Amino acid sequence: MTIAVLLFDDFETLDVYGPVEVFGRLTDLYTIKFYSLDGGQIKNRHGVSALTEKLEYVYENLDIFIVPGGLGTRKEVENKVLIDKIKEIATFSKFVLTVCTGSALLAQTGLLDHKTATSNKRAFAWVVTNGANVNWNKKARWTIDDKFYTSSGVSAGIDMVLGFISDRHGIEFARRIAFEIEYSWNEDKDNDTFQVE
């Protein structure tokens, strides 16, 4: 399966590279490429610099589109060109996975309307303003509705991707990956233990 990861300035580091670690080690099953609106080097406030191709080069036979969160989403939800491009790719992609405040970007496309989704619990009040018609679930570690997977904050993206892999390849396969990367997988998608009261 082909994976396109969206990057934009001030994306959250682990939102991206947690899922990339999980999918990336399954080299026989998944191929990952990184994209941004204009291509080239994308940076974040953690000092990370990553090389990307232009979003327009994403092929229509895409299997998985990953949309991360981060402080940059506060600006990008206003970027109509980017939101339109996310909508186009999310429409033809077989699956769409958002991490953290990445669900705010996807909500802006309207594709999450009347679907269940979640996000970072500390940014929840802001995220929901980006999708008045989304069934926002504040309790979930991650949600699945139709082809859309959305996760809570940062490390929850790793939990969700292990869940995605479990849904495709079985839970024992997913548990083995969690063990290999020595990650304590929160397997219960319905209960985020990092909720804020």
Q: Which residues of the shown chain bind a copy of itself in the complex (CB under 8 A)?
A: 12-14, 16-18, 20-21, 23-25, 27, 31-34, 41, 44-51, 120, 122, 152-156, 179-184, 186, 192-194
> Helices 171-180 and 156-169 meet at what angle, rounded to 10?
140
Cα dist from 8 to 94, 102, 182, whole Å? 22, 11, 29
162, two tokens? 């292990």
Cβ-based nearer residue to a copy of itself, 76 or 192: 192
Q: For residue 118, which of 148, 93, 78, 147 has the smallest C-alpha distance?
A: 148
Cβ-based nearer residue to a copy of itself, 122 or 169: 122
Q: For residue 3, which of 119, 89, 114, 129 has the smallest C-alpha distance?
A: 89
Return left, alpha or beta for 4; rule: phi > 0 is left, psi -120 to 50 is alpha, else beta.
Answer: beta
Cβ-based nearer residue to a copy of itself, 51 or 81: 51
Cβ-based nearer residue to a copy of itself, 13 or 135: 13
Provide, rounded to whole angstroms, the least separation between the CB of residue 19 and a copy of itself.
10
Provide, rounded to whole angstroms, the least separation between the CB of residue 57 and a copy of itself.
14
HSE, side-chain direction, 13 A CA sphere, residue 61: 3
Cβ-based nearer residue to a copy of itself, 108 or 118: 118
Provide, rounded to whole angstroms, the least separation between the CB of residue 61 and a copy of itself.
17
Cα dist from 67 to 10, 46, 174, whole Å? 13, 18, 21
Provide, rounded to whole angstroms, the least separation between the CB of residue 139 and a copy of itself.
14
Provide, rounded to whole angstroms, the least separation between the CB of residue 122 and a copy of itself.
7
